[in-house]
């Protein structure tokens, strides 16, 4: 893939969020609607086009941990708020800032994680589980060696302890398991076809109020 090849030519060890999402989307993982913008004027124009509320995030090859760097602004409801957020992010990120990512604000209470790790013994392995802030605390995940079948992916969902999060409850619909399975199969293919991809981290993968999965954040690590 050109986006991966370009990063490797630049001696980079990871892709930006925008690049990471381009890669995973090409393998069937649903991602947020978003644009890379260079200035506040562009950010406002894209926000008006998408409709409020929106999210603004600092973007750049060296800006991996955006929350810790305080360069994420959620739930922006007006042009004024977008302009202010752009200004704040620019100050926080300094010279490392190569633009901002303006995204639709995805609403969803259920957070999942999916990803890919390259094991020295087994090769590319796909991971699925509970996401968000609970990923490291609960460690409720399942793994499969790639490539995966759709049946493998469906079984992975049934193996996590918190699998009931995928069922209909509290007025929320059942998760679209077919879409989730297609995304997991796609991640397996990504790992098999791209040997220089060391790791993929999609966290959180939100379930919308219709039960559809959407990758809100993503990171691809290269080797």
Percent of the chain, pLDDT > 70?
Answer: 100
Tell me the pLDDT tens digit for each residue of 107-131.
Answer: 898 999 999 999 999 999 999 999 8
State the Cα–Cα distance between residues 194 and 86, nearest whole angstrom.
35
Query: Taking phi first (over 0 means left), then psi (-120 to 50 degrees means alpha), and beta for anything else, what does residue 60 get?
Result: left
Q: What is the dihedral of CA 157, 189, 191, 28, to 10 degrees?
A: -70
Residue 3 has pLDDT above 80, yes or no: yes
pLDDT at 99: 96
State the Cα–Cα distance between residues 81 and 42, nearest whole angstrom.
14
Tell me the pLDDT tens digit for each residue of 174-196.
Answer: 999 999 999 999 999 999 999 99
Q: Hey, is 26 helix, strand or coil?
A: coil
Mean pLDDT rounded to a whole number for the chain: 96
Query: Taking phi first (over 0 means left), then psi (-120 to 50 degrees means alpha), and beta for anything else, what does residue 114 get?
Result: beta
β-bridge mates for residue 119, sequence order: 123
Quickly state the pLDDT bin for 133 (edges 50, 70, 90): confident
pLDDT at 138: 77
CATH domain 2-30+107-222 topology: D-amino Acid Aminotransferase; Chain A, domain 1 (3.30.470)
Residue showing tokens 């060296």 = 62
Residues 6+ apart with CB under 8 A from 167: 174, 175
The token duo for 70 is 């305080």
Tell me the pLDDT tens digit for each residue of 58-100.
Answer: 999 999 888 889 999 999 999 999 999 999 999 999 999 999 9
Percent of the chain, pLDDT > 90?
Answer: 91
Domain boundaries, the chain: 2-30+107-222, 34-104
Q: Hey, is 132 helix, strand or coil?
A: helix
Task: Classify domain 34-104 by CATH number.
Answer: 3.30.1490.20
Fold agreement between 2-30+107-222 and 34-104: no
């Amino acid at each position: 893939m050109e986006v991966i090849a370009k990063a490797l030519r630049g001696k980079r060890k990871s892709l930006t969020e925008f690049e990471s999402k381009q890669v995973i989307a090409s393998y069937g993982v649903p991602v947020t609607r978003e644009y890379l913008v260079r200035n506040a004027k562009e950010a406002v124009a894209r926000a008006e086009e998408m409709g409020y509320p929106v999210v603004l995030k600092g973007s750049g090859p060296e800006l991996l941990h955006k929350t810790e760097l305080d360069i994420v602004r959620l739930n922006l409801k007006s042009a004024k708020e977008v302009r202010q957020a752009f200004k704040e992010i620019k100050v926080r990120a300094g010279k490392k800032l190569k633009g901002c990512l303006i995204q639709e604000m995805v609403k969803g209470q259920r957070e999942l994680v999916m990803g890919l790790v390259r094991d020295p013994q087994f090769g590319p392995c796909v991971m699925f589980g509970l996401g968000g802030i609970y990923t490291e605390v609960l460690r409720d995940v399942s793994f499969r060696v790639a490539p995966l079948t759709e049946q493998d992916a469906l079984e992975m969902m049934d193996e996590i302890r918190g699998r009931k999060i995928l069922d209909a409850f509290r007025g929320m619909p059942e998760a679209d398991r077919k879409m989730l399975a297609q995304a997991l199969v796609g991640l397996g293919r990504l790992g098999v076809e791209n040997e220089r991809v060391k790791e993929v981290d999609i966290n959180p993968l939100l379930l919308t109020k219709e039960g559809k999965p959407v990758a809100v954040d993503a990171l691809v690590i290269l080797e």
